[in-house]
C-alpha cells in the first residue's frame, strides 16, 4: 500500500500560517530539503516526526494520519470504477498523484460525482413517484383503456380489409371516440402540470423513504433473517430483551422521567446506556429494546439495503430509511414472521386478540401486517395510513390500486376520518370508488394519554384497507355484506381526482373529465 | 391467421363470455372472438358476469379485472368456490402488470393473464389454448 499523500496539507497549513520552509525545518530540526520532500510526498513520514510536524503547525496529533486522504482516494477509485468502460481507466497511483499535486481539483471531482449521484437518486425517486401518483394513476388507466381499444381496432382494420360496411362504421366511430377521450386525458394532465401540481424540485426525505418501502412491498427478507438468527424465541418479553442487551452488548437500561428524556431519544448504537421512559407502556418498552438490538445487530444488513436503493438520493433520506428499517427489524424481533403470520391468519387479523397474545400495540400490529409479504406465506395485502385531527396523512403505505395522496388529506368519506368522531371504536366500512372498485376499510381513532396536566392530547386515527376480495379473511368483516349488492360508501380518491360531481362533501373542483 | 382460426374445434362451436365494462374494448373482443368461430356473450359488470355464467356455463371466460360492482377478483373467487365452475377456464385482463395483481389472480386460481394494451393475436391464441386444454366438456 503506497503511503497516503499528506504533503499538500502540510504545505497548505504552513503557507496559511505564513511560515517558510526554512523556519519549519529549523523548528523540527531537519533540513529544508527534507521539508520540501515531505511537502511533495517524496518522503513518507510517520510516528514521532509526524506528530512533531503536526505540533509545529498547530494541528492535533493524528490530524496528519492520512484518514481524510484515504477517504478521498477511496471515493476517487469509486468514481473511476463507476465510469469504467472496459478501457484502461485511471489507476490508484494516478489518484494519489492527483490528490498530492492538485488537491482542489480532486475535491471538485468528488463534488461533481456526489451531485451526479444525488441527481440520479432524485430522477429515480421522481420516476417512482410518477408510478404512484393518484392523478397519474387514474389518467394512465384511462389512457391504457383508450390505447387498448385503438390498438385492437387498428389491428382489426389491417387484418380484415373486406369488413362489412356496418361493422366498419362502428369501428370508425370507436376510433373517433377513443381519440377524443385520449386527447381529453392528455389535456387533463397538461392542466394539472400547468397548475403547478408537479413538484419537480426534488423529493423530501419522507417521500424518498415512502418510495423506497413501496417499491420493496415493505418486505425485507434479509432483516427478517437477521431477526430470526438472534434466537430470541417467539415472544421475547422486555426482560429477555433487556438481558440480551446487557449480556451481548453491555448496555444497561436507564429509565428517565419523560421530561428528562434527551430531545433526540432514539438510540443510535453509541453509549452504554439505553434511555427509556419511566413507566412506559410494556409494548412500547419492548419495542424500544428490540429497536436497540436491531440498531446493534442489524447495522450491516440495514446498510446493505440502503446502499442499493436508488430511491434514497439524499443523506436525510438514507438516515430516515435507516431508522425505518431499524423499526422494521424491531417488529420482526417482537413479532417474528412465521408465528405471527400464522396467528394473524388463524385469528383473522383480530387486533385485540393479537395484541393480547404478542403484547404489542395496535399500531405495531398494523405496521407488521403490511410487511407480511413473504413469498409462499403472504398475509392480506394491506394499505395503512394514519391521519391527524387536521386530516393530514402522517403515515402512509399505499396499495397498487389504492393510491394515497402525498400531501394534505384524502377523501373525507374514508373511514379514517369517520373514526375521528368515535374515538376508541373500530369503524369497519366498505368503500366503493368511482371506477366501481371496492375496498374494506378498518379504522380507529385513539387519544394517547398526556404525560402531564395541561398538555394537549392529540387524536389520531389509524386505518387499514384491503381489497374487498380479501375482506373475508378479517374478523371485522363478519356480518357485512361483502357481495356486490352489499351497502358501500361511495367514496373517491381525493376531491381533485373524483368524478362524483354531485357529492355534497366536495371541497374543491375535480380536474378529471369523465371519459369514455 | 392460422392460429386465430384453429382455436375452436370446427365441429363444436365454443361459447366464450366476455366480462368487460369498457364497451369499445368489449366490442373489439367480441368481433375477434366471433371471427375466430366462437359464440360470444358479453357482461358489463361483475354481477352480470356471475349471473350469466351460472345461467349457462360458457367454455371460457375473458374477465377484466377492473369491473364495477364485483371486481374481476371477486368474480374469480366466487367461481372458484363453486364446484360447478371450479374448472372453468378463465383469462384475466388487467390494465397493468402489477406483481401483486398477478399474485392475487394466481392465488385465486386464474388460468391465464394478459395485460392491456394487448395484441389481438395474444388474446385469441390464449383463449384457444384454454379451450383446448382447460375445458372439461
What is the grid cell recorded at A341? 403470520
Bigger pLDDT: A308 or A317? A317
3-state secondary structure at position A377:
strand
3-state secondary structure of B64: strand
Which structural domain range is residue B110 located in? 2-132
The whole-number pLDDT of residue A325 equals: 96
Nearest beta carbon to residue A469 from set B29, B71, B103: B71
Nearest to A437 among B47, B66, B100 (CB): B66
Across A183-197, A272-286, A489-503, B91-105, least confident range: A183-197
Q: Is the ipTM of this complex over 0.90?
A: no
d(CA A51, CA A7) in angstroms, rounded, equals: 14
CA dihedral for A101, A104, A107, A109, sign (positive or negative):
negative
Of A171, A435, A483, the CB nearest to B66: A435
CATH of the domain at B72: 3.40.50.2300
Task: Give the best-scoring range by mean pLDDT among A121-130, A213-222, A454-463.
Answer: A213-222
Nearest residue of B to residue A485 by CA position? B69
Residues of chain B found within 8 Å of residue A436, distances taken between Cβ atoms: 21, 45, 66-69, 71
Give the CB-side neighbour count of residue A189, counting CA atoms within 13 A. 17
The per-residue DSSP string of A186-231 comes to HHHHHHHHHTT----S---HHHHHHHHHHHTTT--HHHHHHHHHT-
- Which of A141, A152, A173 is the mutation pick for testing B, counting most B CBs within 10 A? A152
- Does A161 contact chain B (CB < 8 Å)? no
**pLDDT recorded at residue A324:** 94
CA distances from B81 to A424, A440, B95 (A): 36, 21, 25
Q: Which CATH architecture has domain A380-516?
A: 2-Layer Sandwich (3.30)
Rounded Cα–Cα distance for residues A255 and A274 (Å): 8
What is the structure's pLDDT at B64? 94
CB nearest A170 (choices: B27, B77, B118): B27
Closest CA–CA distance from residue A170 to any residue of chain B (Å)? 9
DSSP assignment of A8-63: HHHHHHHHHTT--HHHHHHHHTS-HHHHHHHHTTSS---HHHHHHHHHHTT--TTT
Report the mean per-residue pLDDT for chain A.
Answer: 84
Domain spans of chain A? 7-109, 133-194, 202-377, 380-516
Interior angle at CA A335, CA A298 and CA A323, nearest 5: 40
Nearest to B69 among A174, A217, A436 (CB): A436
Task: Kindly report which listed range (A60-69, A95-104, A233-242, B99-108) carries the lowest average pLDDT score.
Answer: A60-69
Cβ–Cβ under 8 Å, residues A311 and A124: yes
C-alpha cell at A345: 391468519
Residues 6+ apart with CB under 8 A from A407: none
Region of poorest pLDDT, from A319-323, A418-422, A456-460, B20-24: A456-460
φ and ψ of A460, to 5 deg: -140, 155
Subunit contact A399:B67, Cβ cutoff 8 A: no
Most confident of the following: A120-124, A214-218, B43-47: B43-47
Q: CA-CA distance, A448 to A426, in Å (whole number)?
A: 16
Q: Chain A: residue nearest B33 by CA?
A: A156
For the residues of A392-438, what is the DSSP string, one character each? -EEEEE-BTTB---SSS---TTSHHHHGGGSTTSEEEEEEE-TTS-E
Give A468's contacts in chain B (Cβ within 8 Å).
71, 74
Highest mean pLDDT among A137-146, A227-236, A290-299: A290-299
State the pLDDT at residue A198.
42
Q: Does residue B117 have a cis peptide bond before it, meaning omega lies within 30 degrees of 0?
A: yes
Whether B47 and A484 lie within 8 Å, measured CB to CB: yes
**Mean pLDDT, to the nearest integer, of A314-331?**
91
Mean pLDDT for A203-214 is: 81
DSSP state of A275: E
The partner residue sitting opposite A149, judged by closest CB among B28, B45, B67, is B28
The CA-based dihedral angle spanning residues A342, A346, A349, A354, taken in that order and rounded to the nearest 10 degrees: -70
Tens-place pLDDT, residues B92-134: 998 765 677 888 888 899 999 998 888 899 999 999 999 998 5
Instruction: Indicate the range of A126-135, A308-317, A474-483 predicted with least confidence.
Output: A126-135
pLDDT band at A451 (very low <50, low <70, confident <90, very high): low
Kindly indicate the confidence band of residue A65, based on its pLDDT and cuts at 50, 70 and 90: confident
Cα distances (angstroms) measured from residue A194 to each of A78, A126, A148, A188, A190: 40, 18, 27, 10, 6
A514 phi and psi, to 5 degrees? Answer: -75, 115
Partner residue facing A484 (CB), from B21, B69, B73: B69
CA distance A296 to A59: 34
Query: What confidence tens digit (pLDDT) does each residue in B5-25 have?
Result: 444 445 578 999 999 998 899
Instruction: Yes or no: say if A261 and A275 are a contact pair by the CB < 8 Å rule.
Output: yes
Q: Which of A167, A381, A437 sits opposite B100 (nearest CB)?
A: A381
The answer to whether A486 faces chain B, any CB pair under 8 Å, is: no
State the sign of the Cα–Cα–Cα–Cα dihedral A116, A118, A119, A124. Answer: positive
- Nearest residue on chain B to A381, judged by CA atoms? B100
- Contacting residues of B for A483, CB less than 8 Å apart: 70
Mean pLDDT in residue range A433-456:
81
Lowest mean pLDDT among A36-45, A207-216, A221-230, B90-99: B90-99
Does any domain span residue B113? yes
C-alpha cell read off for A123: 430522477
pLDDT at A141: 79
Flag if B95 and A484 touch (Cβ within 8 Å). no
Is A369 within 8 Å of A344 (Cβ atoms)? Answer: yes
Of A198, A150, A155, the C-alpha closest to A177 is A150
Least Cα separation, residue B23 to chain A (angstroms): 9
Quick one: pLDDT at residue A452? 63
When CB atoms are compared, the residue of B28, B69, B118 closest to A156 is: B28
- Interior angle at CA A247, CA A244 and CA A249, nearest 5: 90
Q: Is B137 part of any domain?
A: no
Q: Which residues of A touch B22 (CB under 8 A)?
A: 145, 148-149, 516
Binary contact (B25, A159; C-beta < 8 A): no
Q: Is the dihedral of CA A248, A254, A255, A258 positive or negative?
A: negative
Taking an 8 Å cut-off on Cβ atoms, the answer to whether B117 and A148 are in contact is yes
Quote the CA–CA distance of A396 and A408 in Å, as a whole number. Answer: 12
Q: Write out the three cell numbers for A164.
A: 362489412
- Confidence category of residue A129, pLDDT binned at 50, 70, 90: low
CA–CA separation, A340 vs A371, rounded Å? 11
DSSP β-ladder status, B39-43 and A438-446: unpaired
Q: What are A462-498's pLDDT values in tens digits?
A: 999 999 999 999 999 998 888 877 788 999 887 777 7
What's the whole-number mean pLDDT along residues A355-361? 92
Cβ neighbours of A155 in B, within 8 Å = 119-120
> Is the pLDDT score of A514 beyond 50?
no
Q: Is pLDDT of A513 > 60?
A: no
> With an 8 Å Cβ cutoff, are A484 and B101 in contact?
no
- Higher model confidence: residue A420 or residue A485? A420
CA gap A165, A373 in Å, rounded: 53
For the record, the C-alpha cell of A309 comes out as 436503493
Q: Is the pLDDT of residue A165 over 90?
A: no
Separation between Cα atoms, residue A379 and residue A473, nearest integer Å? 10
A122-126, A169-173, B37-41: range with lowest mean pLDDT: A122-126
Q: Are A384 and A398 in contact (CB under 8 A)?
A: no
Contact check, Cβ <8 Å, B117/A159? no
pLDDT of the residue at B54: 93
Mutate to test the interface with B, among A143, A149, A485, A488 (most CBs of B within 10 A): A149
Q: Do A436 and B66 touch (CB under 8 A)?
A: yes
State how many domains chain B has. 1
Interface contact A484, partner B, CB < 8 A: yes
Measured between beta carbons, the chain B residues lying within 8 angstroms of A177 are 24
Taking the CA of residue B45 and the nearest CA in chain A, the distance in Å comes to 9
The C-alpha cell 362533501 sits at: A505
Q: What are all long-range contacts of A440-443, with beta carbons under 8 Å and residues at least 24 apart?
A: A440/A465, A440/A466, A440/A467, A440/A468, A440/A470, A440/A471, A440/A474, A440/A476, A440/A477, A440/A482, A441/A414, A441/A415, A441/A416, A441/A465, A442/A415, A442/A474, A442/A476, A443/A414, A443/A415, A443/A416, A443/A418, A443/A419
pLDDT tens digits, A74-117: 888 888 877 766 666 777 788 888 888 888 888 888 888 888 87
What digits encode the pLDDT tens for the residues B45-61?
Answer: 999 999 999 999 999 99
Q: What is the CATH number of domain A7-109?
A: 1.10.260.40
Give this prediction's pTM: 0.60
Amino acid at each position: 500500500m503506497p503511503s497516503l499523500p499528506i504533503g499538500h496539507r502540510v504545505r497548505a497549513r504552513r503557507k496559511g500560517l505564513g511560515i517558510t520552509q526554512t523556519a519549519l525545518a529549523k523548528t523540527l530540526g531537519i533540513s529544508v530539503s527534507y521539508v520540501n520532500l515531505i511537502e511533495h510526498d517524496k518522503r513518507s513520514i510517520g510516528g514521532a516526526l509526524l506528530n512533531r510536524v503536526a505540533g509545529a503547525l498547530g494541528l492535533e496529533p493524528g490530524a496528519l494520519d492520512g484518514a481524510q486522504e484515504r477517504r478521498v482516494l477511496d471515493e476517487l477509485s469509486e468514481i473511476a470504477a463507476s465510469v469504467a468502460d472496459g478501457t484502461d481507466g485511471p489507476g490508484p497511483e494516478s489518484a494519489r498523484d492527483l490528490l498530492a499535486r492538485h488537491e482542489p481539483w480532486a475535491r471538485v471531482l468528488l463534488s461533481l460525482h456526489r451531485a451526479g449521484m444525488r441527481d440520479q437518486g432524485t430522477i429515480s425517486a421522481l420516476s417512482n413517484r410518477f408510478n404512484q401518483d393518484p392523478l397519474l394513476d387514474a389518467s394512465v388507466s384511462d389512457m391504457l383503456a383508450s390505447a387498448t381499444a385503438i390498438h385492437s381496432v387498428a389491428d382489426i382494420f389491417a387484418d380484415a380489409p373486406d369488413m362489412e360496411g356496418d361493422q366498419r362504421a362502428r369501428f370508425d366511430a370507436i376510433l373517433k371516440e377513443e381519440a377524443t377521450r385520449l386527447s381529453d386525458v392528455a389535456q387533463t394532465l397538461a392542466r394539472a402540470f400547468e397548475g403547478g401540481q408537479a413538484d419537480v424540485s426534488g423529493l423530501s426525505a419522507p417521500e424518498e423513504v415512502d418510495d423506497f418501502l413501496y417499491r420493496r412491498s415493505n418486505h425485507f427478507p434479509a432483516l427478517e433473517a437477521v431477526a430470526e438468527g438472534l434466537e430470541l424465541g417467539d415472544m421475547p418479553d422486555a426482560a429477555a430483551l433487556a438481558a440480551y442487551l446487557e449480556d451481548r452488548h453491555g448496555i444497561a437500561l436507564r429509565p428517565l422521567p419523560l421530561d428528562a428524556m434527551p430531545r433526540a431519544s432514539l438510540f443510535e448504537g453509541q453509549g452504554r446506556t439505553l434511555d427509556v421512559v419511566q413507566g412506559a407502556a410494556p409494548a412500547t418498552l419492548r419495542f424500544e429494546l428490540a429497536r436497540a438490538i436491531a440498531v446493534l445487530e442489524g447495522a450491516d444488513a440495514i446498510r446493505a439495503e440502503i446502499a442499493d436503493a436508488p430511491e434514497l438520493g439524499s443523506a436525510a433520506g438514507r438516515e430516515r430509511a435507516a431508522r425505518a428499517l431499524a423499526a422494521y427489524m424491531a417488529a420482526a424481533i417482537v413479532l417474528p414472521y412465521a408465528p405471527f403470520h400464522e396467528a394473524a391468519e388463524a385469528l383473522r387479523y383480530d387486533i385485540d386478540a393479537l395484541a393480547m397474545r404478542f403484547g404489542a400495540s395496535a399500531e405495531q400490529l398494523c405496521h407488521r401486517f403490511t410487511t407480511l409479504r413473504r413469498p409462499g406465506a403472504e398475509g392480506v395485502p394491506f394499505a395503512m395510513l394514519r391521519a391527524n385531527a387536521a386530516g393530514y396523512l402522517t403515515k402512509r403505505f399505499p396499495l397498487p390500486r389504492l393510491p394515497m395522496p402525498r400531501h394534505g388529506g384524502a377523501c373525507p368519506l374514508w373511514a379514517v376520518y369517520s373514526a375521528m368522531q368515535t374515538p376508541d371504536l373500530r369503524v369497519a366500512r366498505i368503500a366503493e370508488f368511482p371506477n366501481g372498485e371496492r375496498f374494506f376499510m378498518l379504522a380507529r381513532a385513539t387519544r394517547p394519554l398526556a404525560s402531564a396536566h395541561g398538555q394537549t392530547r392529540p387524536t389520531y386515527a389509524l386505518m387499514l384497507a384491503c381489497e374487498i376480495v380479501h375482506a373475508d379473511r378479517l374478523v371485522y368483516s363478519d356480518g357485512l355484506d361483502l357481495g356486490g349488492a352489499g351497502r358501500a360508501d361511495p367514496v373517491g380518491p381525493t376531491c381533485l381526482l373524483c368524478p362524483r360531481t354531485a357529492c355534497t362533501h366536495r371541497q374543491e373542483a375535480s380536474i378529471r373529465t369523465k371519459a369514455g | 391467421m392460422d392460429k386465430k382460426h384453429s382455436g375452436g374445434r370446427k365441429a363444436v362451436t365454443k361459447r366464450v363470455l366476455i366480462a368487460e365494462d369498457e364497451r369499445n374494448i368489449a366490442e373489439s373482443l367480441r368481433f375477434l372472438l366471433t371471427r375466430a368461430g366462437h359464440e360470444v356473450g358479453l357482461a358489463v359488470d361483475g354481477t352480470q358476469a356471475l349471473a350469466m355464467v351460472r345461467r349457462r356455463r360458457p367454455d371460457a371466460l375473458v374477465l377484466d379485472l377492473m369491473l364495477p360492482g364485483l371486481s374481476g377478483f371477486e368474480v374469480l373467487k366466487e367461481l372458484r368456490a363453486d364446484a360447478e365452475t371450479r374448472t372453468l377456464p378463465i383469462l384475466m385482463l388487467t390494465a397493468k402488470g402489477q406483481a401483486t395483481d398477478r399474485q392475487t389472480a394466481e392465488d385465486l386460481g386464474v388460468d391465464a393473464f394478459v395485460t392491456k394494451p394487448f395484441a389481438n393475436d395474444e388474446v385469441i391464441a390464449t383463449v384457444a389454448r384454454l379451450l383446448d386444454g382447460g375445458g372439461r366438456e
